[in-house]
């Protein structure tokens, strides 16, 4: 799943590709212009789901859920990768 920063980048890129102003996106998505500006400038740490869906929908984008990657590295794997063999048992 994407983080908010990568979603933000996709939103900005798509809006610009459509040659829309921030004001256009705000009006079509029914999300306030200050919120659109804050989102695009990376000043939003959280955005409500309904607002995000409205923005993505008018841009022709969607979120995609997928199975989480269960094969994450262990702490031992990360230490080996970093070359740190001095670890606490």
Reported as a single tens digit per residue, the pLDDT across 9-60 is 999 999 999 999 999 999 999 999 999 999 999 998 888 999 999 999 999 9
Q: How many domains is the chain built from?
A: 1
**In the structure, what pLDDT confidence band is assigned to residue 84 with cuts at 50, 70 and 90?**
low
Q: Is the residue at 27 inside a domain?
A: yes
- List the CATH number of the domain containing 32: 1.10.260.40
Please list, in sequence order, all residues whose beta carbon lies within 8 angstroms of the beta carbon of residue 52, skipping any fewer than 6 positions away: 7, 63
12 lies in which domain range? 4-59
Specify the DSSP class assigned to residue 83. T
Q: Which two tokens stand for residue 42?
A: 């990376």
- What are the start-end ranges of the H helices in the chain? 4-17, 22-29, 33-40, 49-59, 75-82
Is the pLDDT at 89 greater than 70, yes or no?
Answer: no
Segment 67-82, tens digit of pLDDT: 776 677 778 877 888 8
- The pTM assigned to this predicted structure is 0.72
Q: Which two tokens stand for residue 73?
A: 């590295």
Q: Is the residue at 68 inside a domain?
A: no
Q: Which two tokens stand for residue 37?
A: 């500006």
């Amino acid at each position: 799943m994407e983080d908010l920063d990568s979603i933000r980048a996709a939103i900005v890129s798509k809006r610009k590709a459509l040659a829309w102003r921030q004001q256009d996106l705000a009006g079509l998505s029914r999300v306030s212009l200050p919120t659109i500006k804050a989102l695009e400038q990376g000043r939003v740490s959280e955005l409500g789901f309904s607002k995000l869906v409205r923005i993505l929908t008018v841009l022709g984008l969607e979120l995609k859920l997928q199975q989480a990657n269960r094969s994450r590295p262990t702490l031992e794997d990360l230490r080996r990768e970093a070359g740190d063999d001095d670890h606490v048992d």
